[in-house]
Chain A
Amino acid sequence: MDQNLGAPLVTVSNCRQSYHKDTTAELVVLDDVNLTLHEGEIVALLGRSGSGKSTLLRIVAGLLKPTAGDVRWRGQPLRGPVPGVAMVFQSFALFPWLTVQENVELGLEALGMRNDEREERSEEAIDLIGLGGYDTAYPKELSGGMRQRVGLARALVVHPDLLLMDEPFSALDVLTAETLRTDLIDLWMEKKLPVKSILLVTHNIEEAVLLADRILVFSSNPGRVAHELKVPFKHPRNRFDPAFRQTVDDIYGIMTRRAPKEVQPATAAPTGFATTLHPVSTNLIAGLIETLHAAPYEGRADLPALAAALQYEVDDLLPLGETLQLLGFARLEEGDLFLTETGRKFADAETEDRKEIFGAALRAHVPLVNAIRAVIDQRSNHRASAVRFRDELEDHMSPDYAEETLRAVISWGRYAEIFEYDEEAQQFSLEEEDEEEEA
């Protein structure tokens, strides 16, 4: 750590967050995370959704109690929300029945502040953040950008030492997000923000490089700090500076780097119930394969460039890339995505042939599909309940992931015509013609 940084505000050591499912499997969200936050720095927690970065933010906020580990605020153990920490939410979390001013005053009311003092403070925050004139408006009358300004003013008005931001700009369109980022960093540089430090959660790599002095890159399942790097550039930063681009490229590389293969426990491997799948639509899969196959990529694309061209964020693109990789249509390496032989074949094929190629890929790479088909074939009525597969998945992953995985398998299996699915009855079955053949 640099010696010129201020005193530590927050220290998180050996933090672990997990929960139990039916007391059998323990599902780990965060594993052995360490973080020290000093006065005067902006730190970004960067990672994919599900990497536990938002969970860590809530632990620092005192909203969540970690399963294990030590969290200290200014040296004291943290046991709940403290006055020195304020939060900005991804969804803005504004109270729709309160005006802008009432929303901003909320935190001051909780402090039991006198009326005149409260009004003075809120006026100050509203002006600072460029909301003057909107005092009596209700949130629903405002645009997304203006709403997030209210969220920001509401957090700043309590003069927190630490400002927590949970993906604050991800619900905004590109231009609005850029304006807000610039305004924030300007205020920070001019030391007009009544805060000492900012902790920012994001899945947008450029945003992290643009704002943060230090970036912690998280890996998923379980969430761990995979990498920590400093961003040495001075504000205001230029996105098109080659050094800036290089840092973004490096981080893409880190995020697509395959985790060192851990020795899998022998029991988990063959069933295929431990792999989480992203419910990516087959249209998207086909679309991305075609895009990769065609000019200008000709089978190989640099991820940041591809993301920019498709207007995708890393959170949209990486699951897609990983799905292609999982199905053997493409490979991810060091921030590049390139098509395999099967991928090329798929791109050239017609609708019916594509279904066949896709089906073969599913059978080869997604054991869960085989497991479902095996159960259907065993049964005399050629039906299998989805509930049992969901239960089995939940032994290995959180209920949300189990649901997503099942949805992915259902949609892919339907497309490849491996089985049919009855949503009402929650049952897998064979296609009618198949059934006749078997009978």
Chain B
Amino acid sequence: MTNYTPTALAGRRLPNRWDGVALLLVMGLLIALVDVGRGTISTSIATIQNSPIHLDPAYLPYYALRSTARMFAALFFSLLFTFTYATLAAKSRRAGMVLIPILDILQSVPILGFLTFTTVFFLGLFPGKVMGAELASVFVIFTSQAWNMAFSFYQSLVTLPKDLQEAARSFRLSPWQRFWRLDVPFAMPGLVWNTMLSMSGGWFFVVASEAVTVGNTTFQLPGIGSYVATALAREDLPAILYAISAMLVVILLYDQLLFRPLVAWSAKFRFETTAVSAGPEPWMLKILRRTALFQEIGDVLGGALRTITRLRLTPPVRAQIDESREPSRWFDGVWFVCIALVAAYASYRIFIFVSATLHWSDLGTAVLMGFYTLLRVMVLMTVAALIWVPIGVWIGLRPKVTRIAQPIAQFLAAFPANLLFPPVVLAIVYFHVSPDIWLSPLMLIGTQWYMLFNVIAGAAAFPGDLKEAVSNFQIRGWLWWRKVMIPAIMPFFINGALTASGGAWNASIVAEVASWGKTNLAAHGLGAYIAQATANGDTARVVLGVVVMSGFVIVVNRILWRPLFDYATRRSTLG
């Protein structure tokens, strides 16, 4: 199994002043989006022609296709963003100083929180057109993929082996050639893995972003998400079951036709000196590699691609590296002043925007709500850990079971959990139990699998000689857990827990409120706060909620997960 380390974890630091600047810049940008959106509105945005959603299952393949198309459109933009943004951040020290903290903040902003801003913006850009709604939806999916991919690419670029860089320079490759010959291939394994993981997570947001209500604007785009929303509104349980099955098929196809072949293929780019035996070749890759027809197609495409990437376009850079030169302080000073000015302007705009409708007590409310959600996340994580750690270890120590269970866990992680909400909501309505408690598990339904498959990977990576030593010294029971297994899987577990906790915050926006027909359920929490503000079109409170939630995520990551991860990694590696 490919092991995955979130790039954001590697060598990151505690909160510092750049985070504050970045937070201001990100929020200022979002508010600017709303302003631009509003400024360009000529007709009422409520007049989008909504084609009705049919609950006839015969329409489902078409809807599934539309949802998938949105996913790939978002992927295209994410790749474009990754190649430009991360390259700029890695190649320019000054740009990197600002771009990387911004990326870090963007990563912590709840994705569904973007919805309000981007919907207003895109609908304003294309007033009355479906195009605006499509772009708004695609943008939400984009936000669920792009940051992660850009981080991975950036991380690869800054860890390029020095000798390969020197070889590229001494053979005088042009920047374009270098990008395709060195930068992209080196980043490929990490990029593919992160892309596939982001796409897995993206299905959730595809479903969530198709049927949207912001204030008095409602749009429904043809897709599985809208299908489910319509079914919910009409209290049609069979339709929901149809949608779940359709999604299962889509994810299965995606998993088999794309995810596995791509990840296996990208192993070719792994930077290592020894040939390692890879797992079994996915059947799809086998077909692509061994079938004459596909080979022919591959050769033609590959040849064309090679020709393009071989072009020099520009002459090689003849720059020498000057180690004794120090960066110009004067230029740095100008740069810092520019950033400070933009940040000051952003904070001024945020102040104007927020102070029009908000009071300090609103901040208090939002933070209090944040603590409710935090409590929920923590309790759920503990429960999930108690369940999945023993199961994961049991599976991971048995190679045969691992081979079967690991793909299933990854598959489940890709399945959009919001499709599973309706049955739970139905049960809550039926049994009249407290939504504050029983809506909570929904937050973790989708992301608990990250915990499971990381623990499995950790236990599977437990070295054979240590296994023998443990049985030789007859270490068993509690001692075995305490001194052997828990420390061994710790870095893997924290890795998974971090992803799960981030995902839970995100999911809280859709999980803390639910409806069945005319019945609306809401739990107390920051997610519900944002969801309600979004539904009311109360942009100021959405901004507040999003800022507070980002704050919570950043603080929890920085003071809990990252130090824990660093500690566990240091402890569990020799040398």
Interchain CB contact under 8 A, A87 and B170: yes
- B181 on interface, CB distance cutoff 8 Å: yes
How many contacts between A and B, using CB within 8 angstroms?
107
Residue of chain A at shortest CB distance from B273: A140
Residue of chain A at shortest CB distance from B571: A424
CA distance A164 to B111 in the complex (A): 52
- B524 on interface, CB distance cutoff 8 Å: no
Interchain CB contact under 8 A, A18 and B324: yes
Interchain CB contact under 8 A, B275 and A140: yes
Stretch at the interface among B5-13, B21-29, B264-272: B264-272
**Chain B positions within 8 Å of A96 at CB level:** 269-273
Q: Is chain A's binding surface mostly helix, strand, loop or mixed? A: loop
Q: Are A95 and B163 CB-contacts (below 8 A) given A62-B320, A79-B318, A110-B316?
A: no
- A106 on interface, CB distance cutoff 8 Å: yes
Return A319 CB to nearest CB of chain B, in Å: 20
Q: Which of B166, B322, B326 has the most CB of A within 10 A?
A: B166
**Chain B positions within 8 Å of A138 at CB level:** 268
Interchain CB contact under 8 A, A83 and B324: no
- B310 on interface, CB distance cutoff 8 Å: yes
Interchain CB contact under 8 A, A110 and B275: no
CA distance A98 to B310 in the complex (A): 13
Q: Which of B170, B272, B312 has the most CB of A within 10 A?
A: B170
CA distance A91 to B536 in the complex (A): 62
**Chain A positions within 8 Å of B320 at CB level:** 62-65, 79-80
Indicate with 1 or 0, residue by residue over A69-98, a CB within 8 angstroms of chain B CB atoms.
Answer: 000000000011101011101111101111
- A109 on interface, CB distance cutoff 8 Å: yes
A140 touches which one: B169, B171, B274, B323 (CB < 8 A)? Answer: B274
- B292 on interface, CB distance cutoff 8 Å: no
Interface bracket on A: 35 or more
**Chain B positions within 8 Å of A353 at CB level:** none
Q: Is chain B's binding surface mostly helix, strand, loop or mixed? A: loop
- A17 on interface, CB distance cutoff 8 Å: yes
Q: Are A141 and B312 CB-contacts (below 8 A) given A64-B320, A80-B318, A97-B268?
A: no
Interchain CB contact under 8 A, B322 and A110: no
**Chain B positions within 8 Å of A17 at CB level:** 323-324
**Chain B positions within 8 Å of A67 at CB level:** 323-324
- A158 on interface, CB distance cutoff 8 Å: yes
**Chain B positions within 8 Å of A20 at CB level:** 324, 326
**Chain A positions within 8 Å of B171 at CB level:** 81, 86, 106-107, 110, 154, 158
A87 touches which one: B166, B173, B269, B312 (CB < 8 A)? Answer: B166
- B172 on interface, CB distance cutoff 8 Å: yes
Interchain CB contact under 8 A, B172 and A110: yes
**Chain A positions within 8 Å of B173 at CB level:** 106, 109-110
Q: Which of B182, B274, B316, B324 has the most CB of A within 10 A?
A: B324
**Chain A positions within 8 Å of B324 at CB level:** 17-20, 65, 67
CA distance A110 to B570 in the complex (A): 42
In B138-182, the 8 Å CB interface with A consists of 161, 163-164, 166-167, 169-174, 177, 181-182
Interchain CB contact under 8 A, B316 and A19: no
Interchain CB contact under 8 A, B163 and A91: yes
- A165 on interface, CB distance cutoff 8 Å: no
Interchain CB contact under 8 A, A58 and B172: no
- B128 on interface, CB distance cutoff 8 Å: no
- B319 on interface, CB distance cutoff 8 Å: yes
Return A56 CB to nearest CB of chain B, in Å: 13
- B321 on interface, CB distance cutoff 8 Å: yes
Residue of chain A at shortest CB distance from B182: A95
- A112 on interface, CB distance cutoff 8 Å: yes
**Chain A positions within 8 Å of B269 at CB level:** 96-97
CA distance A198 to B31 in the complex (A): 62
Return A59 CB to nearest CB of chain B, in Å: 8
CA distance A87 to B171 in the complex (A): 8
Q: Are A65 and B318 CB-contacts (below 8 A) given A89-B163, A95-B181, A110-B312?
A: no
Q: Which of A61, A93, A158, A423 has the most CB of B within 10 A?
A: A93
In A149-171, the 8 Å CB interface with B consists of 154, 158
12 intermolecular pairs with C-beta atoms under 8 Å apart: A18-B324, A63-B166, A63-B320, A64-B322, A80-B317, A81-B169, A85-B170, A91-B161, A96-B270, A110-B174, A110-B312, A110-B316
Extra A-B contacts (12), CB below 8 Å, given A80-B319, A87-B167, A95-B182 = A63-B320, A87-B170, A90-B163, A96-B272, A106-B171, A107-B171, A109-B177, A110-B171, A110-B177, A110-B316, A140-B272, A140-B274
Please list the residues of chain A having a beta carbon within 8 angstroms of any beta carbon in chain B: 17-20, 23, 58, 61-65, 67, 79-81, 83, 85-87, 89-93, 95-98, 106-107, 109-112, 138-141, 154, 158, 423-424
Name the 8 nearest CB pairs between A and B, nearest first: A80-B318, A65-B320, A93-B163, A67-B324, A107-B171, A93-B167, A65-B322, A97-B185
